[in-house]
Amino acid sequence: MIEVKHVEIGIQRWMRPVLRLIAGGTLLALAGCNAFPSDGPTASEVMHSSSGTTANPIPSRKLVFDVVNVDQRIASNVNTLGQPGFSRTFGFGGGVGTPVIGVGDKLDVTIFEAGPDGLFSTAENKATNIPVTVQPDGTGQIPYVGSVRFAGTTIDQARASIVSALKAKAVEPDVTVSLSGNASRTVSVSGDVSKPGVVPLGLAPMQLTEILAFSGGTSKAPYDSYVTLTRSGRVGKAQLQSLIDNPKDDIYVRPGDKIFVTYDPQTFTALGSTRKSAKIDFNASRLSVVEAAALAGGGDRFSSDAKGYFIFRYETEAVYRHVVGESRFRELLSQGMLADGTGRYPIVYRIDMLDPQSYLVAQSFPIRNKDVLYLSRHPASDFIKFMSLFNTSAVVAWNINRIADN
C-alpha cells in the first residue's frame, strides 16, 4: 500500500527570505531617492540665481537679473514711480499750443467797409462774405488782395493780414475770419470704442478723455482698457483708469495724433506652493501682494515657505535704477542684463512674510499686469514628502514580512 503524505499549503520556507529581501529593498530604494516632485525652487535657490549665477546650467546663456528684498522704501519707490504716464512720455499737459489754420480747412471771411460804395459794400449791405478753402500750398484767394498765406497762422493772424492788405484799397476795412470746416486739425480713434473714426478738433483744446467720449467711449472697465497714443513717431501706452485717477496724464491731443484703445484684462499668474496655481484676473484697478496671495488661496500649509514670496517682473529702467541704485544697475548691465522688447529689465522682488512688518509692506506693494507671484517651497517639504512615502512603503513592507512569517 502506498502511503500518501499531507502537504501543507502555504508559504514555503525558502520563499520567506526572498520576501524579506523585497521588503528591505523597497525601503533602501526609497531611502536612496534624493529627488521628489516639487512645486519649484526654494527661497534660497531663487536668491542664489540672481546676478547671472544659477544652479541650472541650461540654457547656456544665463538670464541676468537682480533679487531685491522689499522694504518700505522699495515699496514706496515702486508705487511713486509706478507705470510711465503720458505726461512723462509727451510732456506735462501734452505740449498743447494755439490752434493754427491748415491745408484743406474751410474759412468764412467777412469784409466790412465804412462807406456805402466800397469794394465790398453797397448802400444796402456794408459787408461781403467770402468762403475760402486753404489750398495745398497753404494759401487762399481774397478779391482785390490776391493770394493770402493761411496755413500755419492763427485766426487772428489771418485777420490782421487781410486788414493790412486792404487798408489802401477799401474804406476803413474790418475783417472777421471763422473756421467753418476743419480738415487739418483731426485725430484718429480706433480699437475698442463705440464710434471709431476721425475726430475733428475745435479751436478749444481737447483732452484725451474728451476725444474718447466723442468716440462713444468703451463698454469695458477702465482698469482693463489701455490707451495707446502715437505722436510724431513716439508711442505711449497707459491704462484708461490712470487718465481718470491722474488728471495730469489726461493730456491735450494734437492734430495728427493716433489713439488706439485695447481691452486687455489685468492678470497675474500664481505659481509654486500656493493652493491655487493659475492665471488670475485682477477684477480691480489695483492689487497688492496680500490681495494677490489671497486670490491664490494663500500658501500650502505643508509645503510653502512664508519667507519666499517672490514677484517676477520686467521693470521700467527708471524704477529699476531707483530700486537697486545707479552703480548696481550699471553692474548688472555689464554682466549682460538685457531689456525686453519694450525696454524693461528683469527683476525679482522678495517679501519675507515671517517678518510682521512685511504684512504692512505687502499691502502697499503693487502687483502689476502680467506679474508672476511665486511662493517658494519650504526646505523641509522634500523631507515631509519622503516621510509620507516612507510611511506608506513601511506599511507595505510590514505586510510582506507578516506574510513571510505565516
Helix, strand, or coil (residue 69):
strand
Q: Which sign does the torsion angle of CA 264, 265, 266, 271 carry? A: negative
Q: Give the predicted TM-score (pTM) of the model.
A: 0.70
- Copy the grid coordinates of residue 387: 516621510
- Mean pLDDT along residues 32-40: 52
Q: How confident is the model at residue 13 (pLDDT cuts 50, 70, 90)?
A: low
Q: What integer pLDDT is reported at residue 80 of this predicted model?
A: 82
Q: DSSP letter for 252, please.
A: B
Q: What integer pLDDT is reported at residue 146 of this predicted model?
A: 93
* Position 127 pLDDT exceeds 80: yes
* Position 93 pLDDT exceeds 90: no
* CA atoms of 30 and 388, how far apart (whole Å): 11
* Position 122 pLDDT exceeds 90: no
Quick check: 18 and 392 in contact, CB under 8 A?
Answer: no
Alpha-carbon distances of 177 from 100, 127, 174, 344, rounded to whole Å:
12, 13, 10, 50
Which is more confident, 9 or 202? Answer: 202
Average pLDDT, the chain: 82
Quick check: 188 and 233 in contact, CB under 8 A?
Answer: no
* CA atoms of 265 and 225, how far apart (whole Å): 7
- CATH number, span 106-181: 3.30.1950.10
- Copy the grid coordinates of residue 204: 478749444
- Mean pLDDT along residues 98-102: 87
Which is more confident, 252 or 34? Answer: 252
Quick check: 190 and 212 in contact, CB under 8 A?
Answer: no
Q: What integer pLDDT is reported at residue 384 of this predicted model?
A: 45
* Position 35 pLDDT exceeds 50: no
Q: DSSP letter for 223, please.
A: G
* CA atoms of 15 and 404, how far apart (whole Å): 7
Give domain 43-84+267-382's CATH superfamily: Outer membrane lipoprotein wza domain like (3.10.560.10)
* Position 325 pLDDT exceeds 50: yes
Please choose, from the candidates 307, 313, 280, the residue with its C-alpha nearest in 3D space to the C-alpha of residue 294: 280
- pLDDT digit string (tens) for 224-274? 999 999 998 999 999 999 999 888 889 999 999 999 999 999 999 999 988
Helix, strand, or coil (residue 16):
helix
Tell me how crowded residue 230 is: count the other CB atoms within 10 A of its CB. 15
* Position 10 pLDDT exceeds 50: no
Q: How confident is the model at residue 129 (pLDDT cuts 50, 70, 90)?
A: very high
**Peptide bond before residue 200 is cis, with ω within 30 degrees of 0:** no
* Position 296 pLDDT exceeds 70: yes
Which is more confident, 81 or 334? Answer: 334
The residue extents of the domains of the chain are: 13-34+383-405, 43-84+267-382, 106-181, 198-263
Q: What integer pLDDT is reported at residue 81 of this predicted model?
A: 83
- Mean pLDDT along residues 270-283: 92
Q: What integer pLDDT is reported at residue 398 of this predicted model?
A: 46
**What does 335-382 look like in DSSP terms, one character per residue?**
TT----TTS-EEEEEEE-TTSTHHHHHHHHSBPPTT-EEEEEEPTTHH
* Position 105 pLDDT exceeds 90: yes
* CA atoms of 135 and 98, how far apart (whole Å): 21
Helix, strand, or coil (residue 94):
helix
Q: How confident is the model at residue 47 (pLDDT cuts 50, 70, 90)?
A: low
Q: What integer pLDDT is reported at residue 24 of this predicted model?
A: 53
Please choose, from the candidates 33, 34, 44, 36, the residue with its C-alpha nearest in 3D space to the C-alpha of residue 378: 44
Q: What integer pLDDT is reported at residue 209 of this predicted model?
A: 94
Q: What integer pLDDT is reported at residue 360 of this predicted model?
A: 93
* Position 11 pLDDT exceeds 60: no
Quick check: 78 and 365 in contact, CB under 8 A?
Answer: yes
- pLDDT digit string (tens) for 131-144? 999 999 999 999 99
Quick check: 254 and 207 in contact, CB under 8 A?
Answer: no
